[in-house]
Structure 1
């Protein structure tokens, strides 16, 4: 979904007096500026994101020596990611020292368009680094005097931070479940008033439940250090866009994120209950699976921590499956084979995104005890597991047409998805690029949903 390009960690050394050197040194009284600070006056950051609470890009001096990891505060003050949310450092003493330091490698390119932005005290850098090293050596939380970026200021910035906490941009794919099941309804049922009421309430509740899962997962990731390990390399270099992790950047605090998670869960429970009450049908199986997702979903890495007990892949596939079949059951009281096939594919396509993420996260997940197939299997065993899931996708698509669970031409609508799935797996088996395979999985998922919707519209129009 994103172009994840690792960048080098800042290597600037402190020296008394003077400004930034061409080799990336920062003096004790000197300042550091960013290349991307020019994008928004007063919001320059050492990592280059010119908006409050965000981070991105890289700041380099004239010789290309190193980057800095500061996130912008409201006033444009550079701060570091070391102690965001109060989590423990998970990347070793040297990495914790770099993360805790509240300064940046000097860049000569950035002050031209936004004079006076993106500065930081070299002294703060020195004291912050020392405190971070002390904390890392003792196994504690890496903190610095300058600290992490303050919470995002202003209503709009705070809303953006919470949306990122809920992974709204990514989990939009989950909400396509409503489009799949709505097009799978017969024409008359699609436009009935009680159908719209039931599905709207279910969708709003779904937003709450998924937001709770994502928020509490991030809180746990900060507390056990896994997010730092998976998003920041041993040298403190960003491995993935940090903006998607507002607890890492300091845009939100752990108490804020925890409160948001619980409120989202309550919101989801209330609206799913309202959806069931308003539904024209309430089959027992639909009530049971909805309650199961409500209970187990947020405990992916919270509470029972089911993903630490080997159930992560089951939840990642099972929850998307349920959010297709349950509201369909509330509207019709039935579960035909065609809808079940489409729901299984919907869940399977989600795990064929996540299993590649798990492959990338092996070291971080193993360090905190998260139990995934990728952690426990050998490289070959993990490849065979992913290959088996990919084969099930293809076989179910073709098999559903062959045995009459779907129209005989159903597989033809999913030929583009099948081609993308083969490309995803074959490419990964050759180059081992898990993040590239993950992005291709997202494209395959969306292509497959478009194929299902097209097939449903043709099927029920005939």
Structure 2
């Protein structure tokens, strides 16, 4: 989840799928496959043997969930144990070589000591990157009337819900990393030619060897249990328990961790729905537990909160086309052409601007609401127009994070002004 490839521009074929880049001539392939030139009638095929344990696959090398190399033609995978690459390179398995299920030797020593393990688990939970999710509490708290914000039952409910939120999000991130190791997508997206890191590997403690797959799996399940316990406690302590708030909270608890695990919903075309829907719910659900209702203003703010998250992740998905396609993750970026993906992102960006202005125009929010979000709208336009010119998805992603935080600040300011007047 939320990973990238070495450059902002993604090589695409005319069919809208990734076109693997190949090196010609004899030599060692970036994924550890040694290639030799084999003469043939009108062909320039190379035959390779998989010999590098735990080496990183290149964009054109695919590994299915079982760790068996497959066939990739225009981004599609086959399932043969001895696969054939699109450029005519056939690969056979060598016993002992690193696979997706058995990723080979760790890149570094395991985490030791209480502090070392705490840091490793925090990185597994992507704590520094998911802090933006917890801003949902700031949004909904400032959307409450002043007389409700500091009520003891309000503060208790929101604290319990926040603790549960930490568990649920940690479970999603941890189990996504476990799946990323097992199917090889994290290696494809984080390691380039010759195993060169494309991003700081510290973000992936399973890649660095700081944690084992078993440790990460246990952490994921315990985090999910933690989340379930505290969300149940939040519902029991809440002054209100509307049915819709209970239902949407249960849906996120059930479906969120199955982004890459269990049902693997992101492999079934529901990844974008989850990435937008889950942040939306963690705004509206606790608000419902406190007040018992859902005004249009809060719903607009929650939709924007979720929309701004997908306007970060869709650029990450653009970076990850090769790795996601290789393991069968179904995203818009994988299935659409380059132009189609750009139109999709453009539509989401337009929806952001239209909802912000429209909410003020039709009375779903104060008439001046859009003014508080003018900085966010300017950043959003810059993000999309720059990406449409240079194709730098990683830069666009970073700008999306800035736009998200700027937008949250605008919403908080609008709420404080609204309830102070």
Q: CA deviation at 1:150?
A: 2.8
Distance of 2:59 and 2:349 partners within structure 1? 36
Q: After the TM superposition, which residues 51-450 of structure 1 pair with which residues of structure 2 at under 5 Å, given as runs? A: 83=54, 90-91=57-58, 135-136=96-97, 141-144=102-105, 147-450=106-409
User: Which has more radius of gyration?
Assistant: 1
Q: Distance in 1 between matches of 2:53 and 2:299?
A: 46
Distance 2:217 2:101 in 1: 21
Contact 1:220–1:302, Cα closer than 8 Å, also in 2: yes
Which residue pairs with 2:66 in the alignment? none
Contact 1:215 1:258 in 2 (8 A): yes
Kindly indicate whether the alpha-carbon contact (under 8 Å) linking 2:171 and 2:220 is maintained by their aligned counterparts in 1. yes
**Partner SS, residue 294 of structure 2:** coil
Q: 1:331 to 1:82 in 2, by over 3 A?
A: farther
In structure 2, do the counterparts of structure 1 residues 82 and 400 end up closer, same or farther at CA, with 3 Å as the change threshold?
farther
Q: CA deviation at 1:137?
A: 9.3
Aligned residue number for residue 55 of structure 1: none
Output the aligned Cα RMSD: 2.4
Count of aligned pairs? 346
The answer on whether the counterparts of 1:92 and 1:234 sit within 8 Å (CA) in structure 2 is no
Q: How far 1:304 sits from its partner (Å)? A: 0.2
d(CA) in 2 for partners of 1:138 and 1:212? Answer: 24
Q: Distance in 2 between matches of 1:381 and 1:461?
A: 45
Q: Closer, same or farther in 2 for the Cα pair 1:317/1:142, shift >3 Å?
A: closer
Q: Relative to 1, partners in 2 of residues 1:419 and 1:92: Cα closer, same or farther, differing over 3 Å?
A: closer
From the superposition, tell whether residues 351 and 139 of structure 1 become closer, same or farther in structure 2 (CA, over 3 Å).
closer
Deviations 1:62-110 (A, max 9, x none): xxxxxxxxxxxxxxxxxxx964xxxx964489999xxxxxxxxxxxxxx
Displacement of 1:237: 1.5
How far 1:440 moved relative to its partner? Answer: 0.3
Instruction: Give the C-alpha shift of residue 148 in structure 1.
Output: 3.8
Task: Assess if the C-alpha contact under 8 Å between 1:135 and 1:142 holds in 2.
Answer: no
Which whole-Å CA distance do the structure 2 matches of 1:138 and 1:204 have between them?
37
Contact 1:417 1:445 in 2 (8 A): yes
Contact 2:100-2:184 within 8 A present in 1 as well: no
Structure 1 portions without partners, runs of 5+ = 8-80, 97-131
Bigger RCO of structures 1 and 2 (CA < 8 A, at least 6 apart): 2
Unaligned runs of 5+ in 2: 8-51, 64-92
Q: Is the alpha carbon distance of 1:236 and 1:459 closer, same or farther for their aligned partners in structure 2, counting shifts above 3 Å?
A: same
TM-superposed CA distance for 1:356, in Å, is 0.2
Summarize the Cα distance change of 1:142–1:317 in structure 2 as closer, same or farther, 3 Å threshold. closer
* Shift of residue 235, structure 1, vs aligned partner: 2.8
Contact 1:89 1:141 in 2 (8 A): no
CA distance in 2 between counterparts of 1:323 and 1:139 reads 34
Check 1:138–1:455 CA distance in 2 against 1; reply closer, same or farther (3 A cut): closer
What SS class does the counterpart of residue 195 from structure 2 fall into?
coil
**Compared with structure 1, are the counterparts of its residues 201 and 94 closer, same or farther at alpha carbon in structure 2 (3 Å cutoff)?**
closer
- Contact 1:82/1:148, CA 8 A, preserved across alignment: no
Tell me if structure 1 keeps the 8 A contact 2:56–2:193.
no
* 132-141 or 376-385: bigger deviation: 132-141
**Pair 1:231–1:333, CA change in 2 (3 A):** same
1:15-55 CA-partner distances (Å, limit 9, x unpaired)? xxxxxxxxxxxxxxxxxxxxxxxxxxxxxxxxxxxxxxxxx
CA offsets per residue over residues 184-220 of structure 1, 9 Å max, x none? 0001000100000000000000000000000000000
